[in-house]
Structure 1
């Protein structure tokens, strides 16, 4: 059913929706079994960590209520922790979306609702009162609407190249920040600027007695490939990973392939990443250039079907990694030059699709728990703007703008939805804790 703007406030009926724990259990079936308890522990920590990991749950809930009918390419998991800083190929630091595992076409407001609701859930976790958390959700929607409406007055190429520079963030908001907030922001930017392959080596690697660099062991979060399997089997799996790297290399543009060919594989390990992604296969590959102090760290992450796939028109990609990469290239203002995809057999001889990117390239994100209400307001406006820029890069920007201009009340409708959905998330989190206590879900506490 096509929704009017005021209809966007409609939230799913808590008594008639799919069981959240059942959805998560079905998701777990395709994941590495020994890592599923780690995922459960991470999700169970707070209502916000549950929200982060429950993109599939929210996708089912969004599909159960009326929507705008205005379709665009979605991030699919646009919560506030999936925005951050990273370097462009020109070495400019920008702020943008930085996670596209669930990207697919869908109603534009699904991204806005997930983003706004994440601010409500996170704000509650930070102890903000109800009026403040609702206002932050409203700020997201107002900022999104403002910048999306502005995109309708811009040229197609200007929309394509629009980006949020880190320097621009500081220039525009510094007058609104108190000294402590500005200092925190500057520290965050400096930290992100130094997150690169060399920094990753310092954090993730050890040097043996012969001076050779290896990925360190920190099970179950970081496990070198030769610790995961017996020697002969480890060599076989390592060769499979190398074959995937070789296949990935063939799809790179010629000039990037010439760059990539200056590196060779040194070591491979399995790494646990994120919250919702825990349990999907994720390999990190250490490569060296001509010198041992010339590292490149790549991440090869499994791409499964988008959580939106059961609720939106199908995308015609044979490889789910390609789906992620093409969605990222469309929505993100500037993407990693090493972004690509591959596939191959896993340790159980099952075909897995993967996408490839640099493990660290200036990437940095906000510590949500450290934000006070004023910080959160600024961040809400920033994320709303970045999401609008992403959607404006698609061919749907004029249709979205027309819809947003058709009636008043968009920001209030999104805010009302966010408050109602935060209540649902609280109940789902409580249900997960009950499932853990009853033994229905197993946990692995890493603390």
Structure 2
């Protein structure tokens, strides 16, 4: 419980911020308690006064100091600790487009965001809040929700950092689709407006109302334009016909010497040399047993119905490529498959600016951040330390997940999706931060929304310059990239 209480303290508004004085670096538990006890109207007024120090229009500003930031140096620094043979795949995927580059360079933007204006209000931040990290997923009760679904970088941090990363992703996505910058900016403003509007609504709700709030598939369909809603319904019906592991089983497995195992598809899915050694299976079983101890007791009972079959490494995502990611196949007595994913967890990219996590284990940091931000989390979410002290978090590989097919979006769909993402982010921030102070700071005007439109355009240009720098580094042989995988 001590870690939960310490994390909660990180979200409080220091009274010295409210008075315009220099705040303490880390709010104390006493400060947190005082902030939580203040009436919502008082906190709203306090948020409004923050505009005197950081006007809403200030958030539109973006200019990087070339003397302080070398994008290639920061990208290479993020290679540390990754599997060397997989790093060229990471750069190959980033070279696909400026939007793909943006997805793979969260650490670079985190360094840039550290120099931007902030109000002084913190939330549990996603840390890598771009539009591809939202989507549908099934809850333990088998309902489908629309929400955030990637928390590798989560950490208590300024709320502005998440919304800024999110709005930029819409401008870059619009450009990747061949849409005009005007339409890209419109989507960014729509996202910020939705965040702003929903935050003001959440500020009026009781804590339990906010905690239990969720965005259901019915909400998504009700607000969707007719054509968009019809496509979504078809995808939803198809996804829910079978469980995630049932979908993955024929695709990921094969029969070898009369035994079921995970199929090697190198270099994206493979059994490392160590996986063929006699001691590998007992090692995986020990890892599973340690992971089991991080689950609630009822989930341990569920996991006990499955036995280990096989484990292999899998390349996932863009920014995560090179981090160790294992998929583990376990099966029930009746031969029903279940795939678990064990993904390496390292320090959040936000830590240099926001401070270290209060959790001793980065897998635990990811799990706790996810539980704080999501309305419902994966049934088997847990963490474990593997061989060599490498930290992992674990979950089901896929459970009725619905990812956005951005490449199929038209302007109407992108605009609608921007509004939905803004709503989701507001819900997550309202659940973990001081929603009354944030709403008070945002106010009733569209000043912040328009500022986000301007920032999104300016930083999208920056991301494209950094993408060009990566292409140059690859041409010069400074960075090796495999673009044919």
Normalising by structure 1, we get a TM-score of: 0.94
Q: Is the 8 A contact 1:14 1:424 kept in 2?
A: no
Any idea what the Cα deviations from partners look like across 1:318-360, whole Å, max 9, x if unmatched? 1000000000000011101100001122xxxx32110000001
Partner of 2:368: 326
Segment drifting more, 110-119 vs 60-69 = 60-69
SS at match of 2:350: coil
Any idea what the Cα deviations from partners look like across 1:382-402, whole Å, max 9, x if unmatched? 000011111111142222112
Distance in 2 (CA, whole Å) between partners of 1:237 and 1:69 is 49
Match of 2:355 among 308, 313, 333: 313
Partner of 1:72: 123
1:229 matches 2:280: no
Match of 1:272 among 315, 320, 327: 315
1:257 matches 2:308: no
Q: Is the 8 A contact 1:263 1:288 kept in 2?
A: yes
Distance in 1 (CA, whole Å) between partners of 2:279 and 2:257 is 26
Q: Structure 1 residues 183, 325: closer, same or farther in 2, change over 3 A?
A: same
Q: Is the 8 A contact 2:124 2:433 kept in 1?
A: no
Partner of 1:177: 226
Partner of 1:186: 233
SS at match of 2:211: helix
Partner of 2:464: 426
Partner of 2:48: none
Q: Is the 8 A contact 1:5 1:408 kept in 2?
A: no
Distance in 2 (CA, whole Å) between partners of 1:376 and 1:231 is 46
Partner of 1:11: 62
Any idea what the Cα deviations from partners look like across 1:203-252, whole Å, max 9, x if unmatched? 11113463x32110100100134xx33743xx334433322211011121
Name structure 1 gaps, 5 residues minimum. none
Distance in 2 (CA, whole Å) between partners of 1:198 and 1:107 is 40
Segment drifting more, 274-283 vs 11-20 = 11-20
What's the offset of the Cα at 1:59?
0.2
Name structure 2 gaps, 5 residues minimum. 1-21, 23-52
1:353 matches 2:400: no
Partner of 1:36: 87
Distance in 2 (CA, whole Å) between partners of 1:207 and 1:217 is 11
Partner of 1:381: 419
Partner of 1:287: 330
Distance in 2 (CA, whole Å) between partners of 1:96 and 1:315 is 23
1:84-99 equivalences in 2 (<5 Å): 84-99=135-150
Partner of 1:47: 98
Q: Is the 8 A contact 2:275 2:312 kept in 1?
A: no
Distance in 1 (CA, whole Å) between partners of 2:435 and 2:245 is 36
Q: Is the 8 A contact 1:86 1:192 kept in 2?
A: no
Segment drifting more, 161-170 vs 213-222 = 161-170
Distance in 1 (CA, whole Å) between partners of 2:91 and 2:234 is 32
Q: Structure 1 residues 205, 231: closer, same or farther in 2, change over 3 A?
A: closer
Count of residue correspondences: 433
Distance in 1 (CA, whole Å) between partners of 2:275 and 2:393 is 26
Distance in 2 (CA, whole Å) between partners of 1:439 and 1:190 is 47
1:124-203 equivalences in 2 (<5 Å): 124-173=175-224, 176-178=225-227, 181-193=228-240, 194=242, 196-203=244-251
Q: Is the 8 A contact 2:54 2:118 kept in 1?
A: yes
What's the offset of the Cα at 1:66?
1.7
Normalising by structure 2, we get a TM-score of: 0.86
Q: Is the 8 A contact 1:83 1:96 kept in 2?
A: yes
Match of 2:338 among 296, 301, 305: 296
Partner of 1:241: 284
What's the offset of the Cα at 1:408?
4.6
Q: Is the 8 A contact 2:193 2:446 kept in 1?
A: no
Partner of 2:9: none
Segment drifting more, 251-260 vs 276-285 = 251-260
What's the offset of the Cα at 1:295?
1.1
Q: Is the 8 A contact 1:54 1:276 kept in 2?
A: yes
Any idea what the Cα deviations from partners look like across 1:54-104, whole Å, max 9, x if unmatched? 100000000012212111110001100000010001000110000000000
Any idea what the Cα deviations from partners look like across 1:261-304, whole Å, max 9, x if unmatched? 11111000000000000000000000001112x11110000001
1:111-122 equivalences in 2 (<5 Å): 111-122=162-173
Partner of 1:399: 437
Partner of 1:215: 262
Any idea what the Cα deviations from partners look like across 1:143-189, whole Å, max 9, x if unmatched? 0001110001111111111111112211332xx233xx344322332
Q: Is the 8 A contact 2:330 2:339 kept in 1?
A: yes
